[in-house]
A = this chain, B = another copy of it.
Amino acid sequence: MGGSAAAGKSVDGGGRAAPRVPVPEARPFLDTFRANLKETFFPDDPFRAVVRERGFARRAAAALRYFFPFLEWAPAYRLGTFKSDLIAGITIASLAIPQGISYAKLANLPPILGLYSSFVPPLVYAMMGSSKDLAVGTVAVASLLIASMLGAEVSATENPALYLHLAFTATFFAGVIQASLGILRLGFIVDFLSHAAIVGFMGGAATVVCLQQLKGMLGLEHFTTSTDLVSVMRSVFSQTHQWRWESVVLGCGFLFFLLVTRFFSKRQPRFFWVSAAAPLTSVILGSLLVYFTHAENHGVQIIGNLKKGLNPISVTNLQFTPPYMMLALKTGLITGVIALAEGIAVGRSFAMFKNYHIDGNKEMIAIGTMNILGSFTSCYLTTGPFSRSAVNYNAGCKTAMSNVIMSLAVMVTLLFLTPLFHYTPLVVLSAIIMSAMLGLIDFPAAVHLWHVDKVDFCVCAGAYLGVVFGSVEMGLVVAVAISVLRVLLFVARPRTTVLGNVPDTNIYRRMDQYTTARTVPGVLVLRVDSPIYFANSGYLRERFTRWIDEDDERTSAKGETGVQYVVLDMGAVGSIDTSGTSMLDELKKTLDRRGIQIVLANPGSEIMKKLESSKVLELIGHEWIFPTVGEAVAECDFVLHSHKPGMVADGASHENMV
């Protein structure tokens, strides 16, 4: 068993090479504090490139390159790259124009805003963003959220100017919040929206958005402002006599067309452009159809006039006065965080495919700035939507230049082509939204969650049901609450296991996992799998006692000797607080009364530091702390078999034992 066991004193000078567990030197508080702060907020050491440079000018240039990544790739930009970006840019523009108009309608905003929002923000992102694949644009979920949150207090039909101004203000706040999160290095807050939560949330939002499209598809004039399933169904079925068959036929036809092209492109990735061009094709076909059949007089609603010209300045429209500012702030906060989560996740996914690195906090600053500047130029909330970025990636984009191309294409549209959209039927826009949304309902992902992790499935289902039956915010709250509860429960009820010796080794492993592992008579080896904190110290104290009682019962039934040593494997205890040290203190005293010696194995440096400063180390005795479980058990075994009586505690203690 790993060499002969030495007596319970110092073995430093002996023949064994294994060191005893060292207590780290005390470091000044401020040093530790600074190191922790750095690891919490600057884990990726973002300014390495800047600090490395010498001289002010070189550092300033490096800092500029840090905040404006295009300075890095633009000088080396080649014609070959441009060709790829041109194709990708035009492809995403053909998707951006109809989608932009559709999502603006979803947000109850004038359709032209969808085009404005595809003009300025992509230019800003192209300069500041570090992703090569992200295609900037508005997204359905955020659009719906804006409609439902602002719409709850201000009617878009009765007071369109105020509603519009509040949408700009919310976008401004969303941008400020996004940029601040990046500047304050709080990007990890977005991590608390777990993958499972996002799957459920996106699925729920897609369901809700599809339900909203029933208005357009059925050609209804009046519709509920609520988003939950029950309200929508009641609204739809209370006015069955208002359904327009022309609208239904047109809508279903286009939806079928869009779904078929998407299915085809998925099967044949080479023909990605088929599904990418399908929305624009639908818009053109739909508009021509309406123009020639005058369907607008037969219950098919159309977009109507779109203003020509570029984005008007809207900075003077921002509302910073009390009655509505809080509403805009709240809307900005929620939509901003959700949009950010999508943008960051999309950027990261594609960066992983192409094996380059994305700095989350820098991305937040880029997305935030693009929304702040957007809110000054009549744009509403934009981010990096998954569908558009995927098309961009498939179309072979090489740099953020594809965003510039898209932006220029939209500019041309704004300057010259808006009258062409006059006859575009709304039902086509609904079909475009629905076909995009159906792709967001990721049923296989939910099945995967169920197979791998039931709690994650609960998070996902909670988010989905919360969104569909409650509201988008409720879905978010449910998902985050379950996720956080899981973390807390992990700490509050940590797993404790008995370790056994793997035969012919000095390795100790969990007995429920390694069936060959055997216990050592008289020694109980326990392992804790979480930090020892206030939330579990009471539980752990009772659980340890129960393990000992159970072992005593078992051995006394067999007539064997009971537990005389409890070895705690601290290898997986990452941290300990004062409740934890008090618990060990109490445990030591309780076990002393029962004549049981407590032994610690493999505590980490932080644990050793805490044990020393709380005097628990002194109480247990440094000689009872070992770097490995093997050595700890060898020592116990040695003492147990050499001078058995009177070795433990004070000799009288054996009387208390079962």
Give A contacts to B, CB under 8 Å.
17-19, 22, 24, 29, 33, 39-40, 43-45, 188, 191-197, 348, 352, 355, 357, 360, 448-449, 451-456, 483-484, 486-495, 502-505, 507, 509-510, 512-516, 529-531, 533-539, 542-543, 545-546, 571-575, 577-579, 581-582, 586, 589-590, 593, 602, 604-606, 608, 610, 613-614, 627-628
Contacts and interface: CB of A to CB of B under 8 A. Distances in A.
A604 B542 CA distance: 23
B455 A577 contact: yes
A492 B188 contact: yes
Nearest to A353: B589
A203 to B, nearest CB: 15
A22 B453 contact: no
**Closest A-B pairs by Cβ, 6 of them:** A194-B534, A529-B574, A572-B572, A17-B504, A513-B605, A452-B614
A19 B17 CA distance: 26
A489 B17 contact: no
Nearest to A2: B505
Contacts of A194: 533-535, 577-579
A449 B580 CA distance: 12
A211 to B, nearest CB: 28
A366 to B, nearest CB: 18
A656 to B, nearest CB: 9
Contacts of A487: 487-488, 491, 533, 535
Contacts of A33: 454
Nearest to A29: B454
A405 B503 CA distance: 61
Contacts of A530: 531, 574
Contacts of A39: 493
B352 A43 contact: no
Given A490-B575, A494-B574, A516-B19, A543 B191 contact: no
Contacts of A536: 191
Contacts of A574: 490, 494-495, 529-530, 572
B43 A543 contact: yes
Nearest to A529: B574
Contacts of A456: 577-579
- A357, A455, A509: most-surrounded residue (chain B CB, <10 A): A509
B572 A43 contact: no
A306 to B, nearest CB: 41
A629 to B, nearest CB: 11
A192 B534 contact: yes
